[in-house]
Structure 1
């Protein structure tokens, strides 16, 4: 896909998403054997196997979009989210049946799952909103799919000059990986949207699922661990 001549925003770098994904896969590999066993390495192999062709297609900047790269990216992000929900269930089952008597190990596992959850939803939001990272920077705004998120920059063009200078209308601004990461991180801590507002039903459901998972981890798993420590 060639960049539309009316667009001034540069294409995104590949490496922020790669680094985040590698961190998430490393967290899975480091999970205690009691929760996922060998299945955690299936997640790691699955993630790396899908990541390699994506890096080959866009090694430095995200400028090429094909049906293969689009759906591989979505499957990779969605697979990580699904795997994390399964891992969360394993954690809760371990608590319910009384096998989670290692408080320190449980706290560490909860932290690992929580961080991986933030990264997984970050990748999924980043891949889905407005057609994905390639579409957002390469296509004309009129050709973009409807937005799933409304960021503050999307409505700041009538603010004071120094604020409006960063707005979508003035600067041709588009959200990048760090913007989706911040939104996913704040949603996991506040259990509600605090930065980007979800516009579509699918993003409202995804944010609700992420917030519910974060609530279970922070409110139930950590609370149980503190009770064991006490």
Structure 2
């Protein structure tokens, strides 16, 4: 019986594959490719590999951006002052002109110390005055909210539904403005620090910070974004599209939701009772 003829990869022809490559050469080629993959994965950052690309890529909140303009937040602060002046006398801290005058004085001082239209300058006096302004607005509105709730619980105060709804709406709107200012001032150290991109981690995660292509590369949240966060939190009583990340941000949103819920429920219930 004659032997079978040698195949293309049998030892008789040197063990070559159908493409002319020996098993030894295939093994060497596979090893070289595996070594290259391992080198790419473990290549140090300074050598310019993929790790270096990841190291060089900064998160959006660490990117330096142009500081936002002051006119938006200034206009909203003036709206809060006007709402305080329109508050009934029984719901205001006496003398009732004191806190609105203090707020206007602090606003003027901020403009004098930083006359530039953009809020890119940071200093301890500016930071202290800005926080004092927000605290004054919050104090005035907190006093009004407490007095309003007390009147509603005891059945006193406005005797008709329309003035009651107007007062409750003013307290609710000022509450939204006050918490928007707190979010705006504390997130990543305030507007100047956000523009400089100095914070390691954000306190609020906006949708534009989560996915590329939703906004320009130099996008930065402005006051209107924080006002929207405060408004949706006051109406939905929970975060909507922007998530609080730090403990203080979560506590502030909880407090705002509680104040808003209590005010709305009591004012609406009292107004319905009056109409009946």
Q: Structure 2 length normalisation: TM-score?
A: 0.73
Which of these residues, 51, 74, 91, is aligned with residue 107 of structure 2?
51
Which of these residues, 149, 156, 173, is aligned with residue 204 of structure 2?
149
Which protein is bigger by CA-based radius of gyration?
A: 2
The equivalent of 2:248 in structure 1 is 202
The change in CA–CA distance for 1:49 and 1:66 in structure 2 (over 3 A counts) is same
Q: Number of matched residues? A: 213
The alpha carbon displacement at 1:86 in A equals 1.9
- Could you tell which deviates more after superposition, 23-32 or 68-77? 68-77
Q: Structure 1 length normalisation: TM-score?
A: 0.86
Q: Which runs of 5+ in 2 are unaligned?
A: 1-61
Helix, strand or coil: the match of 2:97?
A: helix
The change in CA–CA distance for 1:134 and 1:108 in structure 2 (over 3 A counts) is same
CA distance in 2, matches of 1:199, 1:229: 43
The equivalent of 2:215 in structure 1 is 166
The equivalent of 1:9 in structure 2 is 65
The alpha carbon displacement at 1:220 in A equals 1.3
1:20-169 to structure 2, matched below 5 A, reads 20-36=76-92, 38-59=94-115, 60-100=117-157, 101-137=159-195, 139=196, 141=197, 143-157=198-212, 164-166=213-215
CA distance in 2, matches of 1:9, 1:184: 24
Point out which structure has higher relative CO (alpha carbons under 8 A, 6+ apart): 1
- CA contact under 8 A between 1:9 and 1:174: conserved in structure 2? yes
The alpha carbon displacement at 1:40 in A equals 3.5
Moved >6 Å (runs of 4+): none
- CA contact under 8 A between 1:186 and 1:195: conserved in structure 2? no
The equivalent of 1:161 in structure 2 is none
